[in-house]
């Protein structure tokens, strides 16, 4: 295993996702263990300018495939182009962020195309002799499994927020690639983005509301989330009630989050919810019921009415921030 | 419209999962087995398309004797036929191995549309549906929350971080489901009665022309399973009033935990 680490960047409308820096930083660390170089790949349209910045995260080379046909992520075009690049570069390891927009889909597609092993949603990766061992959650986080990858290239898709971003010097030399998107059938029709919404899986702070919200008025939750620059989450029962969109659901059948701070308000702590947030660094629970299971997982608990407590928390943090 | 649904039977999400003595699988004795929730969405969507456009819905699964229950449930919901690949050699398969088996079966089943869950909530691999599409050389659209079929084409709304993308492709297509696509129906009593008589074909790997000694060779292999570090229940912040509790909480988050 010594032919380099290839990190696939992910950009949406000319902005790299945070997980790109996480994957590059982790890729650099792996390249260090293997004694090889880190090469970044950027696909998109008009992406040369933003690509230069990747040297800061340790990319020795930055391959840029600038093509209007690559403006939006499309499974077929992206798989064709990256499979070609992998064929030429022959990397030992391919690393990318496990996102819904690109990384999970692309890694699965590449794995099948190249008959390459894949560890999805890794939270830890280590090199052991000649082996690459990845730790990844299963059963929505109820189990952590260590998987060994055999074959080439070894593809690791990292879970957003799991790997630390570390700046390190790389030469960062840009190489423009002339790429062929190959045979494609998927047609892009349109994209609708909610502006200013912070993605749950990438947020440093998540404030969630559950059944205790009693309805779709989440303003007390939203205000605190906004003040902390965080995202709003919801329990499954709140989503089932129609109070929040499916994209806000935290848990085994929703999103798994690991923010620095998770505030669960009016959430009792069903096992399928706990699976989705137990890897948060600090958990705060606010619930009327002192017997709620959520308190057994929370670092700090307040027994009380969330509609009284949350606004007070918001005010108190405002004071702190001066 | 010939629709195939890829279905996996998994432990219900309310299950407490315990690691078996071999260290690489879970204890199955107390588990309640259900259709993977995302596959349930796939069954429901297939039935709605069939109801609107006519056609047939086939349920395809790789599993064990127990998996018959899950397929029968899908048949009771309204699917027409089931195919189960039941072979001990599939136990050692990784996601690519399972996808290869499914793709091999699909060489003999006609399809215009294949629907799969975005992931199974046990392995959480997000891999099988996409890999099957790749093996069959058909387009793959993942995380779909809405679809429209007309004139031999499918238009899918894909749920992505922070928004939605709409894609279109000519059939045949494989798409995977995301919550929000539909609300799966319950099997009715007459549905359950009818399901008992619906065809359910069980096959081994040899029956579908695969060399069972090779299929189980995983290239992504579980070395060991562990339980995540147990979170210690922390402290309940005490105080005479809500204000007192909150003052103490915010102080602790700022000074001790240093997260705000």
DSSP-assigned letters across all residues of A148-208: EE-SSSEEEEEPTTTSPP--B----EEEE------S---EEEEEEE-TTPPPGGG-SEEEE
Q: Do B96 and A308 touch (CB under 8 A)?
A: no
B220 at A interface, C-beta within 8 A: yes
The CATH homologous superfamily for domain A200-321 is: TPP-binding domain (3.40.50.1220)
pLDDT tens digits for A262-301? 999 999 999 999 999 999 999 999 999 999 999 999 999 9
The answer to whether the A5-176 and A200-321 domains have the same CATH topology is yes
Please count the residues of chain A: 322
**Rounded CA separation B257/B260 (Å):** 8
Instruction: Tell me the C-alpha distance between A120 and A134, whole Å.
Output: 9
Question: Helix or strand or coil: residue A43?
Answer: strand
Report CB contact under 8 Å: B130, A302: no
Q: Do B226 and A133 touch (CB under 8 A)?
A: no
Residues 268 to 287 of A: which have CB under 8 A from any B CB?
270-272, 275, 278-279, 281-284
CA distance B198 to chain A (A): 30
CATH number at A5-176: 3.40.50.620
Counted residue by residue, chain B has a size of: 260
Q: B95 near B219, Cβ under 8 Å?
A: no
Q: How far apart are the first and last CA of chain B?
A: 55
- Asked if the Cβ–Cβ distance from A191 to B163 is below 8 Å, we say yes
Residues 6+ away with beta carbon under 8 Å from A150: A117, B219, B220, B221
CA B128 from chain centre, in angstroms, equals 9
Q: How far is CA B206 from CA B135, B209, B210, B212, B217, in A?
A: 19, 5, 5, 7, 16
**Residue B216 pLDDT > 80, yes or no?**
no
Percent of chain B exceeding pLDDT 70 equals 100
Give the closest residue to B160 by CA, choosing from A276, A12, A158: A12
Give me the residue label for tokens 């939750």.
Answer: A221
Partner B, chain A 221-240, Cβ-Cβ below 8 Å: 228, 239
User: Does the beta carbon of B104 lie under 8 angstroms from any beta carbon of chain A?
Assistant: no
Q: Please state whether A318 falls in left (phi above 0), alpha (psi between -120 and 50) or beta.
A: alpha
pLDDT digits 0-9 by tens, B148-202:
999 999 999 999 998 999 999 999 999 999 999 999 999 999 999 999 999 999 9
| Interface mutation vs chain A, best among B124, B131, B133, B225, most A CBs within 10 Å | B124
Q: In chain A, what are the domain boundaries?
A: 5-176, 200-321
Q: Are B97 and B217 in contact (CB under 8 A)?
A: yes
pLDDT band at B220 (very low <50, low <70, confident <90, very high): very high
Q: Which residues on A lie below 8 Å from B134 (Cβ)? A: 79, 108-109, 112-113
Sign of the four-CA dihedral A209, A260, A135, B158: positive
Q: What is the pLDDT of residue A2?
A: 52
Residue A179 has a pLDDT of 95
Spans in chain A with pLDDT lower than 70: 1-2
Query: CA-nearest residue of chain A to B144?
Result: A100
Within 10 Å of residue A169's Cβ, how many Cβ atoms? 11
DSSP state, residue A234: E
Per-residue pLDDT, A84 = 97
The predicted model gives B27-42 an average pLDDT of 96
ipTM of the complex: 0.96
CA distance B65 to A98: 34
In chain A, residues with a C-beta closer than 8 Å to the C-beta of B155 are 189
Contact B131 A316 (CB under 8 A): no
Q: Which of A39, A298, A254 is nearest to A140 (CA)?
A: A254
Q: pLDDT-derived band of residue B214, with 50, 70 and 90 as boundaries?
A: confident
The yes-or-no verdict on residue B48 having pLDDT over 60 is: yes
Angle between helices B242-251 and A306-321 (to 10 degrees): 40
Q: Which residues of B touch A238 (CB under 8 A)?
A: none
Which architecture does CATH list for B2-215?
A: 3-Layer(aba) Sandwich (3.40)
A228: chain B residues, CB-CB within 8 Å: 260
Locate all alpha helices (DSSP H) within A35-153, ordered by sequence: 48-51, 75-89, 103-114
CA dist A316 and A223 (Å) reads: 13
Burial status of residue B120 (CB atoms within 10 A of its CB: 0-12, 13-18, 19 or more): buried
Distance from C-alpha of B86 to C-alpha of A239, rounded to nearest angstrom: 36
Tell me the two tokens of residue B176: 């995977």
Look at residue B120 in the predicted model and tell me its pLDDT. Answer: 97
Q: Is the Cβ pair B242, A309 closer than 8 Å?
A: yes
What is the chain B residue with the closest CA to A287?
Answer: B236
C-beta neighbour count of A184 within 10 angstroms: 16
**Cβ pairs bridging A and B (under 8 Å):** 266
Q: How many H helices and E strands in chain A? A: 8, 18
Instruction: Tell me which chain B residues have a C-beta less than 8 angstroms from the C-beta of A279.
Output: 228
Q: Within an 8 Å CB–CB cutoff, is residue B20 touching chain A?
A: no
Greatest extent of chain B over all pairs of C-alpha atoms, in Å: 72
Give residue limits of the domains in chain B: 2-215, 229-260
């Amino acid at each position: 295993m010594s032919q380099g680490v290839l990190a696939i960047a992910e950009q949406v409308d000319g902005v790299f996702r945070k997980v790109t820096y996480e994957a590059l930083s982790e890729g650099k660390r792996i390249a260090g263990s293997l004694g090889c170089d880190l090469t970044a790949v950027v696909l998109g349209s008009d992406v040369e300018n933003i690509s230069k910045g990747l040297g800061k995260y340790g990319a020795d080379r930055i391959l840029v495939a600038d093509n209007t046909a690559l403006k939006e992520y499309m499974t077929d075009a992206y798989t064709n182009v990256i499979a070609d690049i992998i064929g030429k570069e022959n990397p030992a390891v391919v690393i990318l962020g496990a996102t819904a927009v690109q990384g999970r889909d692309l890694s699965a597609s590449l794995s099948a195309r190249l008959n390459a092993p894949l560890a999805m949603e890794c939270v830890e990766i280590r090199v052991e002799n000649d082996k690459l061992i990845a730790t990844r959650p299963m059963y929505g986080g109820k189990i952590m499994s260590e998987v060994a990858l055999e074959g080439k290239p070894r593809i690791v898709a990292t879970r957003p927020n799991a790997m630390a971003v570390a700046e390190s010097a790389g030469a960062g030399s840009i190489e423009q690639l002339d790429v062929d998107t190959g045979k494609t059938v998927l047609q892009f029709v349109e994209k609708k983005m909610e502006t200013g919404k912070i993605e749950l899986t990438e947020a440093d702070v998540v404030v969630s509301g559950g059944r205790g919200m009693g309805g779709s008025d989440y303003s007390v939750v939203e205000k605190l989330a906004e003040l902390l620059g965080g995202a709003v989450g919801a329990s499954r029962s709140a989503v089932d009630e129609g109070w929040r969109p499916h994209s806000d659901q935290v848990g085994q059948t929703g999103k798994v989050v690991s923010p620095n701070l998770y505030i669960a308000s009016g959430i009792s702590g069903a096992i399928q919810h706990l699976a989705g947030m137990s890897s948060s660094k600090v958990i705060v629970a606010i619930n009327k019921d002192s017997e709620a299971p959520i308190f057994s997982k929370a670092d700090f608990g307040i027994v009380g009415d969330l509609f009284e407590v949350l606004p007070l928390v918001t005010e108190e943090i405002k004071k702190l921030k001066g | 419209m010939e629709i195939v649904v890829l279905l996996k039977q998994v432990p219900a999400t309310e299950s407490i999962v315990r690691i078996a003595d071999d260290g690489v699988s879970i204890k199955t004795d107390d588990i309640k087995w259900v259709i993977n929730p995302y596959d349930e969405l796939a069954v429901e969507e297939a039935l709605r398309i069939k109801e609107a456009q006519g056609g047939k819905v086939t349920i395809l699964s790789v599993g064990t004797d127990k998996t018959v229950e899950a397929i029968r449930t899908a048949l009771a919901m309204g699917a027409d036929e089931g195919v189960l690949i039941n072979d001990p050699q599939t136990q050692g398969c990784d996601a690519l191995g399972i996808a290869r088996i499914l793709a091999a079966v699909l060489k003999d089943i006609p399809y215009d549309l294949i629907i799969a869950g975005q992931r199974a909530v046990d392995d959480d691999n997000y891999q099988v549906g996409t890999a099957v599409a790749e093996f069959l050389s058909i387009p793959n659209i993942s995380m779909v929350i809405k679809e429209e079929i007309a004139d031999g084409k499918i238009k899918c709304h894909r749920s992505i971080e922070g928004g939605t993308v709409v894609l279109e492709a000519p059939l045949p297509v494989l798409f995977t489901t995301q919550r929000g696509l539909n609300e799966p129906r319950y099997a009715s009593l007459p549905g359950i009665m009818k399901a008992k008589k619906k065809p359910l074909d069980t096959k081994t790997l040899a029956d579908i022309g695969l060399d069972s000694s090779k299929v189980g060779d995983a290239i992504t292999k579980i070395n060991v399973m562990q339980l995540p570090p147990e979170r210690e229940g922390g402290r309940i912040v005490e105080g005479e009033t809500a204000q007192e509790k909150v003052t103490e909480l915010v102080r602790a988050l700022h000074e001790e935990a240093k997260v705000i």
